[in-house]
Structure 1
Amino acid sequence: MTHANGASGTGTTAGAGAVAGPVAGPGGAGAGRGAAARPPGASAGTLTSVFVRLKLSLLRNGLRQSSGRTAVFVVSIVLTLLFAAGQLLGLVLLRGHAQAATLAVLLTGVTALGWAVMPLFFPSGDETLDPSRLVMLPLRPGPLVWALLVASLVGTGPLFTLCLAVGAGISVAHGAFAVAVAVVAVPLVLLVCLALARAVAAANIRLLTSRKGRDLALLSGLVVAIGIQVVNFGAQRLGQAGGLARLEPAADLVRWVPPASAVGAVDAASRGAYGTAVAQLLLSVAALAGLLYWWQRSLTKLMTAPDGSTVAAAGPDADRKRPGAGGGWTGLLPEGRTGAVVERALRYAWRDPKAKSGWVTALALGLIVPVFNAAQGTGSVYWACFAAGLLGTLMYNQFGQDTSAFWIVAMTVSSKRDAYLELRARALALLLVTLPYATLVVVVTVAVLGDWAALPEGLGVSYGLLGAMLGVGAWASAYFPYSIPQDSAYKNAAPGQGGLAWASMMGGMLLATALCVPVALAAWWVRTGSASPWLLLPLGAVWGALLVWGGLHLAAGRTHRRLPEILAAVSKA
């Protein structure tokens, strides 16, 4: 949330030296003990100055890496400032409105929640969030906490939060006592948000720097997508009768949750409830003290306790804990190439960060979008096909997911039959999850709509679309393979292959849509009342199966003939 936007290795090394200099001094260990004997205030002040300069150096060195990074940073600052200014102006204009306090309290609570979760999904956005980099330096946790807290004020995130807090304070402050409370509440809101983000990051730094932490960061796009759907749903609800008054029960609860309780204290002081105002303000002060204590305890543990994350893996029972080759669910798979490829594909989906991100995003959005539309009364059973379409995109660029390791697969493909079995097994691995999940989404959507008569219609169209996506995806994997960078969470194609990736995905989706025209015409025919809806279910399933079979056979021939070219295309990252 502090938005340091990364840093180069030079910036990190220079920053560490800058910290070590004033604290340890030129005299080495003896000077370090002398620094520890200084008054806490002087030590904390010196360390704070060093960390502020370190934060600025990290920011500056990060921007020097490329002009693109600089442009993105400048654009993000401009957009943040515009949004923050608009939000500040909007809150000021709400001054005197009946629901001004409701909106101010809830916005503060949502902002604090964002500060709490963003370090978990964007741990690499600020190198100073990782205190393990400072373990070897002679630093005490107390002064280190204050230095990092002050350094956290540098960034667009704190500026946005400050604008929000100022606007919230102005919108609810009426009277001299309320203004005095607001003067204390505004910086208190900012400090609680910063301390919350830092405490959460320090307590989970072992996770965030591990493979599971990188997997968590890759799911940030899912969080944003779900958040957009929730905001859209909430905005539509607020547009109905009642408006902001619908939020009053939630605001009554949130106004006692720090740091929103500080804004609630300003509102209480404006209404003359001085005892409530003092209690809510003290609640935020206590929360700040508790967060600083938790943060300091986490730093102490981090700097003194060994990393035991690999102890269990290296123990004498490690071999027995590893999943067996033939036990569990793998024993249900068929023998030969088909079973091996299905197991490999499912393990990739679970272990590979990029594959896992795609799976989770498709599964979550495939359910959220149709269900949310159905709950709002604006959806139909055809929205359930959104899940089949999203899950079908996982079949695209199958060989690119293997990257340079595709040479192992290429060594086992000596005929068109081998290529067909390879692609068929990959499609089967997807169908094991996508087919029941697409069925579930249709059933849930129909249940929310209360239109059970549309169930066979929705299933038929969904099965037809899923089959078209899988068949075209196999064809696109053979004709438009491209490499997927593994060292970047946000790049899905190697440099120079963006157009290829675009052609593969967009062209494939348009082709799949065109191939579903017979199913769409059959659905229209059923809608006119000329046939039973139950005829559409087998028709969609059979048509989808035929499209998968045809796509696999077309892709198999191309794959067998172009193995060297495919390997070169997927090995560029």
Structure 2
Amino acid sequence: MVAHLVRLKLDLLRNGSRRSAAALIGMVLGMLYGGGLILGALILLVTLRIQGDAELTRTLVTVGGAFLVAGWALLPVVLFGIDPTLDPTRFATFAVRERTLALGLLLSALIGLPGVGTVLVVLGTVFASSRSPSALLVALVGGALGLATCVIASRVVSGAASAVLASRRGRDIAGVGGLLVLLALGPLLAFVNDGGLTRERLTALADLLAWTPLGWAWAAAGDVMLGDWASAGIRLLLAAALCLVLFVLWERLLVSILRNPRGAVGEGGGGPHGLGLFAHLPGTPMGAIAARAGTYWVRDPRFNFPAIMTILLPAGLLFPGLGGEGSAVFLALMPLVSAYLIGWGQHNDVGYDSTAFWLHVVSGVDGVADRVGRLFPSGLIALVCVPGYALLGPVVGGSWALFPAALGTGTAVVLNGFAVASITSAVKQYAVPSPGESPFSNRPGSVGVTFAVQTVCGGAVMALSLPEIVLFGLALFGYGWAAWVALVVGPVLGVVAFVVAVRIGAGLFRTRQADLFQDLVSMR
């Protein structure tokens, strides 16, 4: 059964790449980008082995390994979601031993670009630590335990997050948890910003991580190279115990899901009284689309959970901005980061409609009404967040001289993001969780397309915002006139780009409705 699950994952990945040319191109781009990162990491590890600095090798391997574990646990949730071939609910009707299924799902998680890349990096850490037979043996054991920690932690976190977001109360808890994560990242950013990232600071960070679950497996080989056998043995035992505990948690979580599969996200009891936003917005096509979009953002976890993270994420710049050199720059960047996330986040809005998009097709919705109406909830968030973050920076200690530049550039960035989204959401969609599914789920073979579309959209937003960004940079270097020019030019150019893009997007929407609907059906 374990081998069968691995073959199934390989077949699904191969079939996903054959689904369309766009999927194949996206996969190639993902391989090029991820391969470049992996190649850089391997070159660094080989250099450490040749250099012969055991302390530096231990430091970088421990810090890098800790971030690798954290990445496996968090990035699949934040960015691309769970591969549905690993979704336990799909196996609820099969008579498969639960422990066998647990092992098979863990091994199949290594099939794919992230798994292969991680295995290569782990082998690189083994090579970097191979200064003696004993260090090589400990590095092999530690690398295996570190790899197991990455995979099992990813499954546990993803499965637990999906269960938490199955209820409205759980989504509220997740929002608070996201805020706590941001608060935890703040001191780390401040640590890096205050005085720079020196070897002494990296060593101190490695020593700290080495006694945490993130670094137990990775620091053991370094301890052997430095002659600290006692610490190495303790850390290996702790890492093995951690893997065992995580596997037990994963098995129990799997049993719970198989015996009570959550086929839909929802809660009983009916919805709110009255028509909600439909009773307060104009009774026009644009008003109806805006009310529908706003209702989705309030009630659908596929929208409200990312919205919470989008609102809170720029606040992480407060911590490095509260002290040290360059603090005013971090504080001034908050509205720009907020604007970029809000505007860019709309580029795949049609993809979330799934087959319900047929209502837009058969009702003959005007393209302008559709393009503008969809931006209603994100527009409200932008009206609060962009000026709010621009004002918050100077209030907490930033430079008031940068306030005009931050506000003008942030306004331009969010409008340019809406402009790009008005066009791209009428051109190409990529797979997203279907209505009722976990907000962390996704389709096999879609990561490459997702990455390609997101990269193109992000680059387009930055290209449109380049004049305002240049003015913002000049303001940072003390040119006061540039700040006031950005305050005037930013909104003007942003409005122009938005109006032109809405017209173009409306035309594409009218001519490509059937193609968009066909794409959405094929993604189910």
What residue is the counterpart of 2:144 in the other structure?
187
Aligned: 1:111 with 2:68: yes
Per-residue deviation at 1:245?
A: 1.4
Aligned: 1:252 with 2:207: yes
Structure-1 separation of matches of 2:424 and 2:247: 53
What residue is the counterpart of 2:175 in the other structure?
none
Structure-2 separation of matches of 1:66 and 1:562: 21
Equivalent residue in structure 1 for 2:394, among 427, 446, 465? 446
Q: Aligned AA for 2:223?
A: A
Where do 1:485-524 residues align within 5 Å? 485=429, 487=431, 510=464
What residue is the counterpart of 1:142 in the other structure?
99
Q: Any conservation in 1 of the 2:129–2:225 contact (CA below 8 Å)? A: yes
Structure-1 separation of matches of 2:509 and 2:141: 68
Aligned: 1:482 with 2:430: no
Per-residue deviation at 1:111?
A: 1.1
Where do 1:222-237 residues align within 5 Å? none
TM-superposition CA deviations, 1:336-368 (whole Å, max 9, x none): 548655433422445678877996787567667
Q: Any conservation in 1 of the 2:427–2:512 contact (CA below 8 Å)? A: no
Equivalent residue in structure 1 for 2:239, among 284, 290, 298? 284
Per-residue deviation at 1:437?
A: 1.2
Q: Any conservation in 2 of the 1:366–1:388 contact (CA below 8 Å)? A: no
Structure-2 separation of matches of 1:420 and 1:69: 29
Per-residue deviation at 1:140?
A: 2.3
Q: Any conservation in 1 of the 2:106–2:151 contact (CA below 8 Å)? A: yes
TM-score normalised to structure 2 length: 0.65
CA shift in 2, pair 1:449/1:62, >3 Å:
same
CA shift in 2, pair 1:448/1:91, >3 Å:
farther
CA shift in 2, pair 1:133/1:173, >3 Å:
same
Structure-1 separation of matches of 2:7 and 2:500: 62
Per-residue deviation at 1:190?
A: 2.4
TM-superposition CA deviations, 1:99-156 (whole Å, max 9, x none): 32221111111111222234435455462x2344444444323344445555555555
What residue is the counterpart of 2:39 in the other structure?
82
Q: Aligned AA for 2:386?
A: A
What residue is the counterpart of 1:28 in the other structure?
none
Structure-1 separation of matches of 2:16 and 2:341: 36
CA shift in 2, pair 1:381/1:50, >3 Å:
closer
What residue is the counterpart of 2:274 in the other structure?
325
What residue is the counterpart of 1:9 in the other structure?
none
SS at match of 2:291: helix
Unmatched segments (≥5 aa) in structure 1:
1-18, 20-47, 216-221, 414-418
Per-residue deviation at 1:372?
A: 7.0
What residue is the counterpart of 2:295 in the other structure?
347
Per-residue deviation at 1:286?
A: 0.9
Structure-1 separation of matches of 2:312 and 2:108: 37
Q: Any conservation in 2 of the 1:101–1:267 contact (CA below 8 Å)? A: yes
CA shift in 2, pair 1:323/1:161, >3 Å:
same
Structure-2 separation of matches of 1:66 and 1:421: 31
Q: Aligned AA for 1:111?
A: L
Per-residue deviation at 1:424?
A: 8.0
Per-residue deviation at 1:450?
A: 2.6
Structure-1 separation of matches of 2:57 and 2:291: 56
Q: Any conservation in 2 of the 1:130–1:205 contact (CA below 8 Å)? A: no
Percent identity, please: 22
CA RMSD, Structure 1 to Structure 2 (Å): 5.9
SS at match of 1:379: helix
Q: Any conservation in 2 of the 1:199–1:291 contact (CA below 8 Å)? A: yes
Q: Any conservation in 1 of the 2:35–2:117 contact (CA below 8 Å)? A: no
Structure-1 separation of matches of 2:56 and 2:229: 20
Structure-2 separation of matches of 1:450 and 1:481: 37
CA shift in 2, pair 1:469/1:366, >3 Å:
farther
Per-residue deviation at 1:456?
A: 5.1
Structure-1 separation of matches of 2:71 and 2:49: 23
TM-superposition CA deviations, 1:308-331 (whole Å, max 9, x none): 666974x5xx23xx122256x887
Equivalent residue in structure 1 for 2:360, among 388, 396, 406? 406
Structure-1 separation of matches of 2:155 and 2:52: 33
Aligned: 1:306 with 2:260: yes
Per-residue deviation at 1:549?
A: 11
Per-residue deviation at 1:166?
A: 4.2
Q: Aligned AA for 1:379?
A: V
Structure-2 separation of matches of 1:150 and 1:550: 48
CA shift in 2, pair 1:340/1:130, >3 Å:
closer
TM-score normalised to structure 1 length: 0.60
SS at match of 1:98: helix
Where do 1:93-108 residues align within 5 Å? 93-108=50-65
Per-residue deviation at 1:185?
A: 2.4
Q: Aligned AA for 1:438?
A: V
Structure-2 separation of matches of 1:164 and 1:395: 35
CA shift in 2, pair 1:380/1:292, >3 Å:
closer
Q: Any conservation in 2 of the 1:485–1:491 contact (CA below 8 Å)? A: no
SS at match of 1:99: helix
Structure-2 separation of matches of 1:387 and 1:449: 19
Equivalent residue in structure 2 for 1:435, among 376, 379, 383? 383
Q: Any conservation in 1 of the 2:149–2:242 contact (CA below 8 Å)? A: yes
Q: Aligned AA for 2:273?
A: G
What residue is the counterpart of 1:41 in the other structure?
none
Where do 1:118-267 residues align within 5 Å? 118-120=75-77, 121-123=79-81, 125=83, 127=85, 129-150=86-107, 154-172=111-129, 177-201=134-158, 203=160, 243-258=198-213, 260-267=215-222
Q: Any conservation in 2 of the 1:51–1:148 contact (CA below 8 Å)? A: yes
Q: Any conservation in 1 of the 2:344–2:461 contact (CA below 8 Å)? A: no
Per-residue deviation at 1:246?
A: 0.8
What residue is the counterpart of 1:24 in the other structure?
none
The structure with the larger Rg is 1
Q: Any conservation in 2 of the 1:442–1:459 contact (CA below 8 Å)? A: yes
Q: Aligned AA for 2:360?
A: F
TM-superposition CA deviations, 1:5-31 (whole Å, max 9, x none): xxxxxxxxxxxxxx4xxxxxxxxxxxx
CA shift in 2, pair 1:267/1:437, >3 Å:
same
Structure-1 separation of matches of 2:497 and 2:102: 63
CA shift in 2, pair 1:249/1:551, >3 Å:
closer
Structure-2 separation of matches of 1:348 and 1:461: 29
Larger relative contact order (CA 8 Å, sep ≥ 6): 2
Q: Any conservation in 1 of the 2:190–2:319 contact (CA below 8 Å)? A: no
CA shift in 2, pair 1:159/1:84, >3 Å:
farther
CA shift in 2, pair 1:289/1:173, >3 Å:
same
Structure-1 separation of matches of 2:384 and 2:396: 18
Structure-2 separation of matches of 1:323 and 1:553: 38
Where do 1:409-420 residues align within 5 Å? 410=364
CA shift in 2, pair 1:443/1:126, >3 Å:
same
Deviates more, 1:171-180 or 1:189-198: 171-180
Per-residue deviation at 1:159?
A: 4.3
What residue is the counterpart of 2:329 in the other structure?
379
